[in-house]
Chain A
Amino acid sequence: MLSNIGQILVFLILASSFCIIYNAYLDIKIRNQIVKKIIYNISLLQITFTILSFFTLIIGFVSSDFSLINVYENSHTTKPLFYKIAGTWGNHEGSLLLWINILVLFSFLFLIFNFKHNKKFRLYTLIFQNILIIGFIIFLLLNSNPFSLIYPVPLEGLGLNPILQDPALAIHPPLLYIGFVGCSIYFSAAMASMVTEYKGREFALSIKSWVQISWCFQTLGITVGSIWAYYELGWGGFWFWDPVENASLLPWFAITALMHSVMVLEKRNTLYAWVIILCLLTFILSVTGTFLVRSGILNSVHTFASDPSRGIYILLFLGMMIFTSLIVFFRKHKKESYSFNLKTRETFILVNNWFMAFFLVTVLIGTLYPIFLDVIMDVKISVGPPFYNIVIVPLIVPFIILMTVGPQFKWINSHNIKFYKTIFVFLGALTINLLIYYFFGSYSVLTNLIFIVAIFLILQCFFDAKQSLYKNKKSEYPRIISHLGFGLLVLCIGVNHQYSLEVDFNLKVGENKKVNNYEIYFENIKIEQKKNYHSVTGNFKLTDLKKNLVQYLDPEIRVYSNPETLTYEAAIKSKITSDFYLTMSNVARSEYYNIKFQNKPFMIWIWISAFIIALGGFVQLVLKKNEN
């Protein structure tokens, strides 16, 4: 029953897409500025069908309707309700339906909210977006249908991976998808802009909010994903330069560059070609990321169950997208003349784009190189954190300096900024760094530089904030907030990296281990049977010998039976100043347990700074709304 409803709804979405394209095409020929009512109506129907189809799948999960293969493979009657619902998008087919939902949602919202803009442009955007929607629906129907039936109907499901039963992970996909599926709309808008020659400032205004929204949610999505990795995966880290993580970071670099470039297009009516390229590139990167993650071409801790047949379809789709956009771009591209004054904001935004391009290319090369080497030379290598740290981190130093100095300049006309003020702030940063170095322990030259420039950025942002509040220049608030967040993030990660304590040792029950000024005593093991797993919890007494404080940490090993897996739950005590992190795993065929103990300063501040970065973007949206 549900399967039929779901299938019919999906077909209805497909049908409405065709209807929209047909009607839009007809309406384009009518030379007025009013979009025909029927197009609005069909769009409304389309979004209704889409949301209903998603609800249908959710109902399937909640009611444990195992006649649907998707529910059977990814759910279980004993799973808690919240995770049954989250299970809807925690698998390949369901998440694909979520993609389609967001594609349709943005299509609808763009149509509605951009009523001030050129009609032909809006209609062509709608057409291109619906072509994308059709592409994804065909993929869904032919290859990854969440409404496929299974017969005979099994009595029990195969259960969802227990690692995925976590609140942070439940909201991570929706957040991330609004980010990198949301960028589909400005891909379509870019295509439409080229075809209708609706350029310059007006085009910038039409996509500005959409770029902003996708940027905010992409930032949030990545942050929440890292928080999940830290609390759930049990290795104490939050970023591993894993291909799947990189797949979400690549669009982020592009969207950040785009967000800044759109400002230049709006204010100076220049960089149009570059903005178009970025709009196209962002969604192309999203789809490439999806390809890497879902096709099984890469080996990762995060991948969905892989299936090469999916890969071929996505690759085809990707190829068509890239070639079409290239052809349209080459046909319509007209040379621009640039008239940048050197000491202006727009020049520094160009510099931002330059660095973003570098970061993007580095991460892209690092992720793709193993594939290329494997195919061409049959050699398998790994590219991991050391590569990215060596290549990227040194260049963060000039990047942050430019990021601090750049916004001091104004738009359009060259002004000499008051250098002495900036030098004063820089000296302040130097001093603070020296104090940290003196009181807390020495570190390398590179780390010194990172601390100095990060503090420089933070201090400058505070001064800028004071200025803006005084002059009531609201338009500066978002930039100050986000840049402050970024400086804070770099500083916290630097401090965390430098002053983390990490030890790995084996311990038996009743044994003691002394590490620096901590003493860890393995008190006992508690074995319990929980709802759907067997729990082995270790009780550890942690004594801080310097401060004479005692804490208890209880890491857990969970033995699940459906499916048969082991997970390791870390014991984490998060405080304002630092986190304690303890994981325990059983050494096979022995009474010993392998213990990993970490003391990680400023962990919470890392998350807070990432949220501050996103906050700046949201403030920008609110300000724009108040403007209107």
Chain B
Amino acid sequence: MKINISKIIIFIFVGFFLLIFWLGLKKDNNYDTKNIIGNKIDSFQLSSIYSNKFISEEILKENKFTLINFFASWCAPCRAEHEYLLNLSNNSKDIKILGINFKDKKNNAISFLNELGDPYDSVGYDNDGKISISFGIYGIPESILVDHNLIVIKKIIGPIDQNQYNEILELVE
């Protein structure tokens, strides 16, 4: 077999394809929307679940860091992460927590918080879930950590676990 350049190129191509396939196997298939990190939050307006007051993005400018947590009374994993939210609200002075109640009934949300404790400094009500879309949410629970310039620093998909809790504390220091 004469070895000429076109044959070498073909072999390299095939090798390249196989290499990409192999690397592709190792990649995580589940999509996450971490691409919003570094972007600015859109302006929003939500009514509070407790009163007729309105909550807007202005509230985020008041604190150095705010953790926006999306939850609902009907969401089981939300119960699992609640403990970490309570710890954050009690122990950390630099971080405030904004809760956004997603596609829920106000009464159920209030009962949920009465039962498990209320870690939130304020709780907004997103009845049809549309506001959450502007945050790039696609399921609950999800949490977004923002600074006072409304820039997203971290996004957590699923319930907060010990590792993420530690990471949040580190970022906030």
Q: A residues engaging B (CB < 8 A)?
A: 291, 295-299, 306, 308, 311-312, 315, 318-319, 322-323, 326-327, 330-331, 371-372, 374-376, 380, 588-589
Nearest residue in B to A588 (C-beta to C-beta)? B103
Q: Which residues of B contact A326 (CB under 8 A)?
A: 10-11, 14
Nearest CB on A from B7, distance (A): 6
Knowing A331-B1, A589-B74, the reply to whether A315 touches B21 (Cβ < 8 A) is yes
CB-contact partner of B14 in A308, A322, A589, under 8 A: A322
Residue of A296, A297, A331, A374 with most chain B CB atoms under a 10 A cut-off: A297
Complexed CA–CA distance, A166 and B66 (Å): 51
Knowing A326-B10, A375-B27, the reply to whether A319 touches B18 (Cβ < 8 A) is yes
Q: Which residues of A contact B74 (CB under 8 A)?
A: 589
Contact A330 B24 (CB under 8 A): no
Complexed CA–CA distance, A468 and B74 (Å): 70
Contact B22 A312 (CB under 8 A): yes
* CB within 8 Å of A: which B55-106 residues: 74, 103-105
CB-contact partner of A375 in B7, B24, B31, B105, under 8 A: B24
* CB within 8 Å of A: which B1-35 residues: 1, 7, 10-11, 14, 18, 20-27, 29, 31
Q: Which residues of A contact B11 (CB under 8 A)?
A: 323, 326
Contact B25 A295 (CB under 8 A): yes
* CB within 8 Å of A: which B96-136 residues: 103-105
Nearest CB on A from B106, distance (A): 13
CB-contact partner of A371 in B7, B21, B104, B105, under 8 A: B21
Nearest residue in A to B21 (C-beta to C-beta)? A315
Contact A299 B29 (CB under 8 A): yes
Complexed CA–CA distance, A375 and B160 (Å): 28
Nearest CB on B from A163, distance (A): 21
Complexed CA–CA distance, A322 and B11 (Å): 10
Knowing A330-B7, A371-B24, A374-B24, the reply to whether A297 touches B1 (Cβ < 8 A) is no
Contact A589 B103 (CB under 8 A): yes
Complexed CA–CA distance, A291 and B21 (Å): 9
Contact B14 A323 (CB under 8 A): yes
Q: Which residues of A contact B25 (CB under 8 A)?
A: 295-297, 308, 311-312, 315
Complexed CA–CA distance, A327 and B3 (Å): 11
Nearest CB on A from B76, distance (A): 14
Q: B residues engaging A (CB < 8 A)?
A: 1, 7, 10-11, 14, 18, 20-27, 29, 31, 74, 103-105
Complexed CA–CA distance, A291 and B18 (Å): 11
Q: Which residues of A contact B22 (CB under 8 A)?
A: 312, 315
Secondary structure at the B interface, as helix, strand, loop or mixed, is helix
Give me 4 other A-B pairs in contact (C-beta within 8 A), A291-B21, A319-B14, A371-B21 excluded.
Answer: A296-B29, A298-B29, A323-B14, A589-B74
Q: Please list the 3 inter-chain residue pairs (A to B) with the smallest Cβ-Cβ separation, ordered nearest first.
A: A331-B1, A311-B25, A375-B23
Nearest residue in A to B7 (C-beta to C-beta)? A330
Knowing A295-B25, A330-B7, A589-B74, the reply to whether A371 touches B14 (Cβ < 8 A) is no
Knowing A308-B25, A311-B25, A330-B1, the reply to whether A372 touches B31 (Cβ < 8 A) is no
Complexed CA–CA distance, A439 and B104 (Å): 51
Nearest CB on A from B18, distance (A): 5
Q: Which residues of B contact A372 (CB under 8 A)?
A: 20
Nearest CB on A from B22, distance (A): 6
Nearest residue in B to A299 (C-beta to C-beta)? B29
Contact B103 A376 (CB under 8 A): no
Nearest residue in B to A314 (C-beta to C-beta)? B21
Q: Which residues of B contact A331 (CB under 8 A)?
A: 1
Complexed CA–CA distance, A311 and B25 (Å): 7
Q: Which residues of A contact B103 (CB under 8 A)?
A: 588-589
Nearest CB on A from B33, distance (A): 10
Q: Which residues of A contact B1 (CB under 8 A)?
A: 327, 330-331
A–B Cβ pairs within 8 angstroms, 29 of them: A291-B21, A295-B25, A296-B25, A296-B29, A297-B21, A297-B24, A297-B27, A298-B29, A299-B29, A306-B29, A308-B25, A308-B26, A312-B22, A315-B21, A315-B22, A319-B18, A322-B14, A322-B18, A326-B14, A330-B7, A331-B1, A371-B24, A372-B20, A375-B20, A375-B23, A375-B27, A380-B31, A588-B103, A589-B103
Complexed CA–CA distance, A318 and B104 (Å): 51
Nearest CB on A from B49, distance (A): 16
Q: Which residues of B contact A299 (CB under 8 A)?
A: 29, 31
Q: Which residues of A contact B23 (CB under 8 A)?
A: 375
Nearest residue in B to A292 (C-beta to C-beta)? B21
Nearest CB on B from A224, distance (A): 28
Complexed CA–CA distance, A117 and B31 (Å): 54
Nearest CB on A from B16, distance (A): 10
Contact A374 B7 (CB under 8 A): no
Nearest CB on B from A454, distance (A): 36
Complexed CA–CA distance, A312 and B25 (Å): 8
Contact A371 B20 (CB under 8 A): yes
Complexed CA–CA distance, A312 and B24 (Å): 11
Residue of B10, B11, B25, B26 with most chain A CB atoms under a 10 A cut-off: B25
Residue of A291, A306, A322 with most chain B CB atoms under a 10 A cut-off: A322
Nearest residue in B to A589 (C-beta to C-beta)? B103
Nearest residue in B to A375 (C-beta to C-beta)? B23
Nearest CB on A from B102, distance (A): 11
Complexed CA–CA distance, A497 and B86 (Å): 55
Complexed CA–CA distance, A298 and B7 (Å): 30
Complexed CA–CA distance, A291 and B24 (Å): 12
Nearest residue in B to A312 (C-beta to C-beta)? B25
Complexed CA–CA distance, A380 and B1 (Å): 41
Q: Which residues of B contact A374 (CB under 8 A)?
A: 24, 27
Complexed CA–CA distance, A161 and B74 (Å): 26
Nearest residue in A to B16 (C-beta to C-beta)? A372
Residue of B7, B24, B26 with most chain A CB atoms under a 10 A cut-off: B24
Complexed CA–CA distance, A299 and B74 (Å): 28
Nearest residue in B to A306 (C-beta to C-beta)? B29
Complexed CA–CA distance, A326 and B1 (Å): 11
Complexed CA–CA distance, A299 and B21 (Å): 14
Q: Which residues of B contact A297 (CB under 8 A)?
A: 21, 24-25, 27, 29
Complexed CA–CA distance, A589 and B23 (Å): 42
Residue of A323, A327, A375, A376 with most chain B CB atoms under a 10 A cut-off: A375
Nearest CB on B from A246, distance (A): 15
Nearest CB on A from B9, distance (A): 12
Nearest residue in B to A297 (C-beta to C-beta)? B24
Complexed CA–CA distance, A374 and B26 (Å): 11
Nearest residue in B to A380 (C-beta to C-beta)? B31
Q: Which residues of B contact A308 (CB under 8 A)?
A: 25-26
Nearest CB on B from A451, distance (A): 39
Q: Which residues of B contact A371 (CB under 8 A)?
A: 20-21, 24
Q: Which residues of B contact A330 (CB under 8 A)?
A: 1, 7
Nearest residue in A to B33 (C-beta to C-beta)? A380
Complexed CA–CA distance, A318 and B105 (Å): 55
Nearest residue in A to B3 (C-beta to C-beta)? A330
Complexed CA–CA distance, A371 and B24 (Å): 6
Nearest residue in B to A318 (C-beta to C-beta)? B18
Nearest residue in A to B23 (C-beta to C-beta)? A375
Q: Which residues of A contact B31 (CB under 8 A)?
A: 299, 380
Nearest CB on B from A300, distance (A): 10
Nearest CB on B from A493, distance (A): 31
Nearest residue in A to B32 (C-beta to C-beta)? A380
